[in-house]
Structure formats: C-alpha cells, structure tokens
C-alpha cells in the first residue's frame, strides 16, 4: 500500500491536470467562436456587396464603377453558378461626348448579344472614367486579374482571380464575335488541329494538300495566368478562329501551330519553328493560306491588321 503522502501528491496532480484541461477546452471553444464570427462577418460582407451590385438586375447583367470595385466583386463570384463575363468600358457623362469612341459603338451590341447567352450566364459591366483609365494604364501593378490593355474589352472570369481575354477594341462591336463568346459551348464548324512539332506540321500539310489549308502560328500560354504570352496573339486568337469557323469553306483545315511555351523559348535560335522553312514565320501571330502548286507549296500570308475584319473575312472566303 502506497504511503498517504504519495496518494495526496497524486490527487493534487490529477486536480491540476483537470484544471489545465478545462482551461485549454475553454480557450479552444473561444477561438472557434471567434473564427465563426469572422467567417460569418466575411459571408455577410460578401452578401452585402453582391446585393448592392445585383440590385435592379433582372437579366444577369450587373454594373460597378472602376477596377477596384470590380476586383472586390470578383472575390465574391462562384463560377459554379454559371459562366461569368466582364465587360470593361467607358463611364460616360451624359452631358459630354463618349471619351472612348469604340466603347460607345459597342455598348448596345454587347447588351443585345448577351441575350443569347445561357440563362445562368452573368455579365459585369465595369465603367471606367478617363482619368481612372489613364492612371491604371501607367501604373506598375502586375497583380490585377483585370489585365486589360485596350478598351473596350470582354473577359471571362475563370475563378481563382484569373480572367481570360476574349475580345478587345473594335472586335467588341462585332455581333459575330460577341455571339461566339457568349455562347459558351459553340459547336466547331470547321476542322482545327493544334500542332506542336515541325514533324506534325509537315505531316498535316501533306495530308491536307488537296483541301483549303490555313496555318496560324501563335504563342503558348503563360502558366501563371493561362493567357497567351504574346499579347497580340492573346487579343487576336478568338477573332481569327471564329472568322475561320464562320467564313472558310466547309472542307477547310486550320493548323493552329503553337510555336513555344515562353518568349525565351521563341527567341532561342534553335527553336524548331523559327528554323523550319516549310512555312517561314515572319512574326506572331501569323496567318497564312497554303496552296499546292506543281512546284510545291505556295504561302499566301495575311498582311493586313486583324482588326480589319472585312479583310479577314475575305481572306477566308476567297480561298
């Protein structure tokens, strides 16, 4: 049998452990309560923000003023609820002319085209003042999910604070392009092949030599934001592919040639696509039509600006 002093010491030890355990449980419960209150407050704040933006909206179209308000709202968006588009355009003083002429031309056309979008689609109009646009353009910020170089612009919000550029500048007033981007799962109408090696390019040209054949050289995508690292490719990609689908002959083939995963890879003197002479590449993006002749392949490069939409349409139609 243990001495009374040992038993007393054990009893004291057990009491101390019990008190300490109760104290820890109390602190843990308090921490959980605080976390719950913070989480609830954040949900309430987001709900209030969404409520302010959605107020008065009956067609899925929303409106905020400025980039900061737009980015704050995107933090509340759940893309599982449906596709989410962003229309960045000019804010207009009704007593003054539109400071962004292209924005004025596109506004009504964007609204009309959005009526063809799926019922779950949402569209956020971001109104930007001339002063706000100028200060944004010349700022050093590189962390914005609304990475816009020209107005107006249509983007798709992809979640995780990332957006994809769909259309910009004069392209935004084109009903054909607007219909294509708002119909989120358009059925492909023409054959498009992604090419990543020179050998695949040569095989595809040989296989399609008797058909209307187009080559479209374009950059790869930046892994950080998913956008084409060539900014001119990024803003021309959807217009080129859409016009091909709309206007090229039904038996045509478009070889979409991805030349490099990064700018550094493209500038490397050993880059295979820069070295090949099957279809010499003059720059990015580059669109060409290939014709088979008795002496080989004849390359007809599209040399106008891609923004000259009638010229782009005629290039595909006239093949």
User: Measuring CA to CA, which residue among 127, 130, 132 is closest to residue 91?
Assistant: 127
Domains in the chain, start-ordered, CATH in brackets?
A: 62-182 (3.40.30.10), 191-317 (3.40.30.10)
Q: Give the DSSP letter of residue 151.
A: S
pLDDT digits (tens, 9 = 90+) for 105-153: 999 999 999 998 999 999 999 999 999 898 877 654 555 678 888 999 9
Among residues of the chain, what percentage have pLDDT more than 70?
77
Element housing 28 (H / E): helix 4-54
Q: How many CB atoms lie within 10 A of CB 58?
A: 6
pLDDT digits (tens, 9 = 90+) for 64-98: 999 999 999 999 999 999 999 999 999 987 778 88
CA dihedral in degrees (45, 51, 52, 58; nearest 10)?
160
In the predicted structure, residue 260 carries a pLDDT above the cut 50: yes
Instruction: Report the side by side order of strands in the sheet with 191-195.
Output: 191-195, 253-258, 213-218, 286-293, 296-301
Torsion-angle region of residue 161: left (phi > 0), alpha (psi -120 to 50) or beta?
A: left
């Amino acid at each position: 049998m243990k001495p009374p002093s040992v038993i007393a010491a054990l009893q004291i030890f057990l009491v101390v452990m019990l008190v300490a355990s109760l104290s820890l449980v109390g602190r843990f419960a308090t921490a959980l309560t605080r976390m719950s209150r913070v989480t609830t407050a954040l949900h309430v704040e987001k709900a209030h923000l969404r409520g302010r933006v959605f107020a008065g909206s009956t067609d899925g179209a929303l409106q905020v003023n400025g980039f900061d308000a737009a980015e704050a709202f995107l933090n509340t968006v759940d893309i599982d609820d449906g596709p989410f588009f962003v229309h960045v355009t000019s804010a207009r003083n009704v007593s003054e002319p539109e400071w962004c002429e292209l924005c004025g031309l596109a506004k009504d056309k964007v609204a009309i085209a959005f009526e063809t979008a799926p019922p779950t689609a949402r569209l956020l109009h971001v109104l930007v003042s001339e002063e706000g646009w100028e200060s944004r353009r010349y700022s050093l910020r590189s962390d914005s999910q609304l990475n816009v170089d020209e107005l107006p612009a249509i983007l798709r919000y992809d979640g995780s604070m990332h957006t994809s550029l769909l259309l910009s500048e004069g392209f935004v007033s084109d009903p054909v392009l607007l219909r294509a981007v708002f119909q989120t799962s358009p059925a492909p109408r023409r054959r498009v092949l992604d090419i990543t090696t020179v050998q695949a390019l040569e095989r595809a040209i040989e296989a399609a030599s008797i058909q209307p054949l187009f080559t479209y050289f374009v950059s790869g995508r930046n892994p950080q934001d998913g956008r084409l690292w060539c900014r001119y490719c990024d803003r021309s990609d959807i217009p080129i592919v859409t016009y091909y689908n709309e206007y090229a002959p039904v038996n045509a083939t478009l070889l979409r040639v991805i030349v490099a995963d990064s700018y550094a890879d493209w500038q490397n003197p050993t880059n295979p696509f820069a070295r090949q002479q099957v279809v010499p590449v003059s720059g990015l993006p580059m669109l060409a039509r290939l014709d088979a002749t008795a002496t080989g392949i004849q390359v007809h490069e599209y040399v106008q600006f891609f923004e000259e939409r009638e010229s782009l349409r005629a290039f595909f139609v006239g093949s």
